[in-house]
Amino acid sequence: MFAVVTCFLLLWARQEIAGGAWCPKNQVTSDTDAVEWLQIDLHTVHVITATETQGRFGNGQGVEFAEAYLLSYWRPELNKWVRYRDITGNEIIKGNINTYLPSKTDLNPPIIASKLRILPYSYHRRTVCMRVEIYGCPFKGKN
């Protein structure tokens, strides 16, 4: 059982701002042991309720987006990175179908963590770029 305080939008690699995005140095594959990720440090424990991704629009010139991704999270008392799985046990999260339409995913169950890693995933080798927003609240309560 836990209680949360006022919720807000947490912004990193912000959606719809200019043409930039985060891009892994190497092409992405279906290897779930990815060595490149976007890491967000929230500094304190939060309840993360949703993620939203978008590709690199680049003023209409960008062609890179993440068709799927995985999440790993860090909670201080666990002292390790944990791969997120939804209520059905699935760890692959549906991403984007193009560079310009955002894709929002509600996390069920939500993640309680102080750090979050977004690991791009692709069913075939490709170049990926992404912008990310996460939604949530500071955590107040017991785990």
State the pLDDT confidence band at 13, using cuts at 50, 70 and 90: low
Residue 5 lies inside a defined structural domain of this protein:
no
Residue 80 lies inside a defined structural domain of this protein:
yes
Comparing 15 with 86, the larger pLDDT belongs to: 86
Tokens 């990815």 locate to: 34
Note the pLDDT of residue 12. 43
Per-residue b or e along 39-57, where b marks 16 or more CB atoms closer than 10 Å to that residue's CB: ebebeebbbbbbbbbbbbb
In CATH, what number is assigned to the domain containing residue 96?
Answer: 2.60.120.260
Residue 50 lies inside a defined structural domain of this protein:
yes
Residue 24 lies inside a defined structural domain of this protein:
yes
Note the pLDDT of residue 14. 52
Residue 7 lies inside a defined structural domain of this protein:
no
Residue 126 sits in which domain range? 12-141
Closest listed residue to residue 50, CA positions, set 93, 99, 110: 110
Report the mean per-residue pLDDT for the chain.
85
Residue 130 lies inside a defined structural domain of this protein:
yes
Whether the per-residue pLDDT at 65 is higher than 60: the answer is yes
Cα–Cα distance between 53 and 29 in angstroms, integer?
A: 18
User: How far from 118 is each of 1, 4, 37, 43, 141, CA to CA, in Å?
Assistant: 27, 24, 6, 17, 25
State the pLDDT confidence band at 18, using cuts at 50, 70 and 90: low
The count of structural domains within the chain is 1
**With contact defined as beta carbons under 8 Å apart, do 32 and 74 qualify?**
no
Residue 134 lies inside a defined structural domain of this protein:
yes
Q: What is the mean pLDDT of residues 73-87?
A: 96
